[in-house]
Amino acid sequence: ENVRCNARLAIFEGVRYALIFGDDDSTNQRVEATRRDFAANVSHELKTPLGAISLMAEAMLESRDDPEAVDHFGRRVLKEATRMGSLVNELIGLSRLQEGRIPDFAQVDVDPLIDDALAAASVSAEVAEISLITDDPIGLHVQGDRTLLLTALSNLLVNAINHSSAGDVVSVSRKVSKVDDVDMVCIAVTDRGIGIAPADQQRVFERFFRVDKARSRATGGTGLGLAIVKHVAASHGGHIGLWSRPGTGSTFSLYIPIDPSDSDTGSANTEEL
Ligand code: ADP
C-alpha cells in the first residue's frame, strides 16, 4: 500500500514537471495515468450518492401513501443531492486553483479573516460540543483571495471539529514565522482529537484520500478538503504544515507570506513588544 502511495505522489509531482517541460514519453504516460486515476475517483465519488438517490426515489414512489416514509426518504435524497452539489463545487474550485486562476488578489486583514472562519464554524462546534478558542489579534495583512483563504481555514476547522470528541477544545493561533528568509503569517488549527498515523500524514493532502471513509461520509466530507487547503496555500506562495500523533491530536499550520507593506510595521511591532 505504501509503495503504491509513493508512486501516486510521484505521479502527482510529475504533473507539475510535465506542465513546465512536458514532452518526453514517460512524463506523458505519468500525466495520462494521473488523469485516469482522477477520472476513476470522480466517477466513483459521484456514482455512490447518485445510486443512493435513485434507490431512495424508488422507495419514495413505492411508499407514496405513507407520509412518514416519504418524509424520511425525501430528506435522505436531499442530503445525498447536497453532498453531490458540494463535491461538484469543490471539484470546480480545485481545478481553477490547479490552473492557477486566482481572480481576486487584494490585501486581506488576518484577524477578521480568523474571526469569520471561527464564526462560520461556531454552529458545528456547538452541535458537537467542542469549544473554539483563539489568541490575541496580530494586526497583519497578507496579499490574497479572501474567499479562498476563508475556505481553507474553514476546511481545517471543520476537520478539527469532526475528528474531536464532545468536550474537546479546538484552538486557532497566529504568529509571524520566517521561512527561507520570507516573513509568513502562520495560522495554526490544533485539535486534541484522534490524530493521524505517520504513514497517512502525507496522503491526507491527496484528492479523495480518507483514513476512514465511513466517518468522512457520515460527516458530509468529500475527501477534497485538504487538497483544496494545500492548493490555496501554494497559490498564495505559502504552504501547509502538519504535526500529528494518533491519540493526541493534530495541528495544521497554514503559512502565507505577509503583505510586503506590513514587513516594517511587523518588525517594529515585534521590537516594541
Ligand atoms: P474529508 O472531506 O474526508 O474531511 P479532507 O481532505 O478534508 O477530506 O481530509 C482527508 C482525511 O484526512 C479525512 O478523511 C481524515 O481521515 C483525515 N483528517 C483530516 N483532518 C483531520 C484531523 N484534524 N484529525 C484527524 N484526521 C484528519
ipTM, 2 decimals? 0.98
Amino acid found at 36: R
Q: Cα–Cα distance between 189 and 39 in angstroms, integer?
A: 32
| pLDDT above 80 for 126 | yes
Q: Is 170 in the pocket of ligand 1 (CB under 6 A)?
A: no
Q: Cβ neighbours of residue 249 under 8 Å, at least 6 residues apart?
A: 164, 190, 191, 192, 193, 194, 195
The CB density around residue 133, as the number of other CB atoms within 10 Å, is: 11
Retrieve residue 238's grid coordinates: 505559502
Write out the H or E segment, with its range, that includes residue 249: strand 249-257
Q: Cα–Cα distance between 37 and 235 in angstroms, integer?
A: 24
| Distance from Cα 33 to the centre of ligand 1, integer Å | 25
- For the chain, percent of residues with pLDDT exceeding 70: 84
| Distance from Cα 159 to the centre of ligand 1, integer Å | 6
Q: Is 226 in the pocket of ligand 1 (CB under 6 A)?
A: yes
DSSP category for residue 163 = T
Nearest to 166 by CA among 133, 190, 193, 188: 193
How large is the average pLDDT for residues 98-104? Answer: 72
- Euclidean distance between the first and the last CA atom of the chain, given in angstroms as a whole number: 50
CA atoms within 13 A of residue 60's CA, in its CB half-sphere: 15
Q: Is 216 in the pocket of ligand 1 (CB under 6 A)?
A: yes
Residue with C-alpha cell 481576486? 104
Please give the pLDDT value at position 121: 95
Q: What is the pTM of this model?
A: 0.80
Q: Is 225 in the pocket of ligand 1 (CB under 6 A)?
A: yes
Q: At what angle do helices 25-62 and 2-21 cross, to 10 degrees?
A: 120
Retrieve residue 65's grid coordinates: 401513501
Please give the pLDDT value at position 10: 33
Tens of pLDDT, residue by residue over 146-187, are 999 999 999 999 999 999 999 999 999 999 999 888 999 999
- Mean pLDDT of the residues in the chain: 84
Q: Cα–Cα distance between 82 and 222 in angstroms, integer?
A: 11
Amino acid found at 180: D
| Distance from Cα 14 to the centre of ligand 1, integer Å | 24
Q: Is 49 in the pocket of ligand 1 (CB under 6 A)?
A: no
Residue with C-alpha cell 476512514? 212
Please give the pLDDT value at position 97: 83
- C-alpha distances out from residue 187 to 68, 110, 257, 268, Å: 47, 9, 11, 20
How large is the average pLDDT for residues 205-232? Answer: 86
Amino acid found at 127: V
CA-nearest residue, atom 3 of ligand 1? 223
Residue with C-alpha cell 474550485? 93
| pLDDT above 80 for 12 | no
Please give the pLDDT value at position 264: 58
DSSP category for residue 188 = E
Please give the pLDDT value at position 15: 37
Please give the pLDDT value at position 30: 67
Q: Is 196 in the pocket of ligand 1 (CB under 6 A)?
A: yes
